[in-house]
Every structure is written in C-alpha cells, then in structure tokens.
Structure 1
C-alpha cells in the first residue's frame, strides 16, 4: 500500500492552480499526478459546444470489485475579486493561525483533497473507486459533468453510487448530508401597456400598475407548505425595470425578473403555469420567458446516505441531518446515473474574500470520507 497522502498538502497544491472557470490552470494535471501515484487510470475529457468555452474534465478509476464508488467534484473556482482585499494572496494556499486560506479551499478543492487522502488509506483490492472532476461547475455547466456522464454511458461504465464534495456543512462540520436539491429557474416577465401623458391616464394603460399587482400575487401567494425533506417553494423578485427617463410619461412596457427555488411537489412546467395564471389575472398583454437551471430531485435515504450518516456519527460524534437546501449542484445531473449524496466542508466562507477552512476540519473530513468508504466497500 502506498504512503497515505496529506490532505493539507494536496489542497495547497490544488489551490495554487489559478483555475477560474473555464481556465484549468494546471489543476487537473496536479490532481492526475496525485491519483496516478495511487494506482488510478486517468482519462482527460475536453468538451466544447458551439459558441461555448472549451472545458477540460477528468475521469479517474482504480478498478477492483464492484460496486464503483465515485466522488464528483470541480476544480474550477469563482473569481477572487480584488486580490488586495485578501489577507494573503488568494492562490497562495497559505496556512494562517490554523486556517487554510485560498480560493477554492471550501468550494471545493479542500473536499477533493480530503477524498484523495482518504482513498490513499484504502487498500487497492477493496473495490472500484473513481473520481469525476469537472472544470465547468461554477460556470454554465454545459461542457462538464453532463457530458462526462454521457461519455461514461457510451463506454458502458456504471457508477454504483456517488458522493459530491460540495460544502454542505453549516454550523459545524458534518451537520448536513444533502440527499436532494431544490429546482431553480429564472423567469423574465414583460408587461405591455399603452404609452400616454401622466396628466391624462384615461388615454393610457399603465403597465407598471398592472405589473405591480401581478408581482404582489407572485411574491405573496404561497406555493406549498413544504415536504418531509424540502422547505416550501419560494419566489423572489430580483429586478424591476421600466427604463423611463421621463417623469410625465406613462411607459409602454415594464419588465421584471424572478427566481424560483422549488421543491419536489413541482417541476418547471408546473411553475411556469402557476406564474402565467397570476400574470394573466392582471396583465392582459404579457410575455413570459424562462430558463431552468435544474429540476428538483430527491434521492431517498438508503445505503449511501446511511454510510455517510454513520461515518459522521463515528468520526464527529453526532449524526447529520438529511437536507436539500442551498443552491444547485452537479448532483442534479448525477442523480440520473446512480444514487447521489453530498457532504463537504462548512460553507460560511464559500465565494468570499479570504475563503478558508480550518486545518483540523480538513483532517476530520478526510477521516469521515475514509469511514464512509469503508462502509460502502463492505466494511473493509
């Protein structure tokens, strides 16, 4: 068996790659070198759709007995903003007062490093292990995980289950395992009226008034009361725009933008109908367009979530909750291929200046991942 890897050193090496979406910055080369030392066969999978940025991805596999236990993650990170706002250079991967600071430390190079370090403790003969790593999670998610999953299907490779290393922990490390995600969609509403003079409103039809009435219904009529694993569906108005430079002119149209996070009582088509009905109450002439980021899904509790709950309880002394909150993740694609659950570091500093994780928590997450692997690989 090879010498176990240090998760801090692995995380530092990854953080030092400036992999802001869609640039790889050497991150996959760095990860591939680590995995090669552990006996993994690595396949690089660059994809590019017309008009989109080329993205590099990695599928790594160490073959053994079934099932194939996969870890999914991303090496791409969001921009750092102004580096001068950081207490240390954002891609230096420095440890200061027991905290590893750097862009991606939490989301999610730290979790990748913890998983790789955990795998380095697992015997080669224990079972088939794989990693599905994309460089397109923080971006449009067009040339990443979805396409790798299609490639796996074409190759006849079946995943038994998958752990996604998103930062799911809230107050304490390991307090939440996510077994589903809410759906998310963005809608643009345009309401048409008749332009006119504000002194003669009887000759006009003010679209702003109609839109305001519709938005009141949209914002305050409840969708549902939530479900066993999901909070209630919620709609937020994110923009209202008229673009009217004059104070004495009733405009001809008004636009609003909405975001809806919906639970498993709904799909995007039903949400669209719900919005359209409320628009039609107040706005005879309207136009609705939608862009769906992902549908809601739930992976029912089972062997995968049991293994993660058991590992957290063993290592951290307390069981996690099974949750579905937060934004979208690539689990929305993976759930069509195999059971999937998410567990990672605390999310408080994700995407922030001085993003960081406590060094001791990165070691503890490594222990949790190792314990979960031993459960999933038949108690080795």
Structure 2
C-alpha cells in the first residue's frame, strides 16, 4: 500500500522545503521523518551533486552527533535508576567525596543543567581533546559554581562530563564503550559508534564536516582540539530513528519527554548540526543530520514540526533585508557591554559609528549592524542572523544574538 493522500502531501512538503533550503546553500545533509509510524521521507540533500565532492552524503553516511550523546546519557541514567543501581536524586558525593558541594549536587541536577557548574572548563592550559575523563573531573573540582545547586539552569557540558564519568565508574569501562555495549548493540544500531572506541570497524562512511566561506563549502576537521573526546559519537538517521523508538517506551518515555510530550535533543559544532525529535502527542518523529553548519538550524526544526503537524509554513527563500534610519537616541539605548553565558561568558561591546551600531570583541571591531526595525539589527542582508534588543527587568536591554541558526542571550553588564 502507498501513502495516504495526506501523508503523501506532508512528505512532499518536507522534500520541497529541504530542496529549497539546499538550493539556497543552506542545507547539506540527510532528513528522515515518520508520522503515525509511516515513513514519509528518508533522503540526502547535496549542495554539490558530484559524489566526488567532500561534502557529498547519502542516507547511509555516518554523522557526528555531538550533544545528542546527552540523550543517550540520560537513557543510561534512567536504566540504572530502574535497575536500582543508582538514584537520580542521590548526591554525587557517593562517586566524588571530595568534590566541592558534592552533598548538594545531585545526578538529576547534572541531567537538567541545574548543578551550577559552568558550560566549559575555564583557564585551561592544555587542549581539551587530550584530557582523560578523570582529568576533566579533577579540573571541574576547581570551578566556581555560577549559582547555588538547584536554584537556576545553565547549560553545562562540564556537568555532563561528570555523568559520563559516573556511568564509566558503574560499568567499569569507558563511557563510549558503555554506549556501544548498552545501547548500540542491543538495539542493532550497527552503524553507530565512537571515534575513540574502535569496535568491529563500525566507522565506514563518515560524513566530512564543512563551513561556508566565500559562497563555497570548505571541509573542516571532524575532530577539533578544543572539544572533549569522552562522548564523541557518530550515527546515521536510521540508527537514530531506532533509538527514538526505544525512547518512546517506558520507563524512558515518562522520564525524558517534556511537558509538551516531546523528546528531543540537538547537537552541533563547527561544520556539523544534528537533531532528533519525537512528538508523542502528534505521533511523529524526525532525524536531521547536516555536515554543514550554515543552516538556519532552529528555524528549520520549527518548520519541520509545523509541516508534520500540517500547520501553515513558508518555503525558504532568498533574503534581501532592507535597512531603515533610526534616531541616535534609540541607538544610544543599546550602547554597552553584553555577557553571553552560553558562549562561556563572551563579552561583546556595542557602540555607535555614524548611523549604525558596531560590535567589538576584545577591542576589535567585528561587525557593523544596520537597523531593520528599532530593535532588530543585521550585518548581512542575505542572512537570517540578527541582534535583537529586548527590555530586561531593570529597564535596560539584553541582546538576542543569532549565530549560525541558533540564538543566544547576552545580559547587559
């Protein structure tokens, strides 16, 4: 039997959307989507059609998944909790008696980023890639908490490094080996593995990562020196779909879905974007893997969900943003320094130059911003990235900065 008329139309909408995105040089990768357990699409999209291109991918290619590994970490913690090996509510003092605040930080806090630990390790004197899991934990002990445990939320890769280490201690083997043995093998995810754990020649068809420079895709290394190696996993759209199906079962379903009935995780780094997404209420799931980081990432994810829910959406089209004149007194509202916690406390200074705002990093001008509205400013009229200034509780302004398809908030200092 073929697809019903409605499901066929949904699949065609997805294909049209990603074809348009690829034509605009804003997507290179693979999309897989199911609705009502029916496959709607599993297709690779390539900016360059030649198989000889370094960016060329097929549906069988293995992609780096970066922080999607955190979903697998959560899975293992739920499994260990169900098996009564650990309790999500127990303090980490059991594993690290000498860790500062070890009796106050729980495993659950590490899972939901409420431990107070920073996003990354600060003031490192060596490359992250060279650090062992135990060395990362020892360095984490020296970090100052951003807030008291359980009182706030701040995304923390450091917190998850502790979880990787805890899982490793319990299973008495490296975290990557735990994932392969406890998830990939039992679920027959045979095309998934780890860069730093060689097992049965799993890595056979790796998608090479790319950035856009001067309107051309350029290959960048899949392994970067400023990233931890503990959870460097790769997978395919088909394997990740298998994993999502497993998460839709109890006890994982109740433990991992949000209040909207969604289980999802994104991942990315230089040259790579990844998303797994299961909407249990609307009965659809999709996996998106891209070996090019220039896509409007969160807008794309939002639009895919709209298409699968049969809501109104717009096909991607070329932008040509127009600037307007803004009074100097309005520009002066935004002058100041902004701290971006999601970028390890990056400080950007906003000033005025002529009729425009300018952005400085470490006293070097990095961008000139034109006004699209009185609160939204852009640098490239062909790009979606913006600086949007929004009022904060103190009556001043914070900055929402778009960067390679994601948006991060900078607090006014």
TM-score by length of 1: 0.26
Bigger Rg, structure 1 or 2: 1
Task: Give the TM-score normalised by the residue count of structure 2.
Answer: 0.24
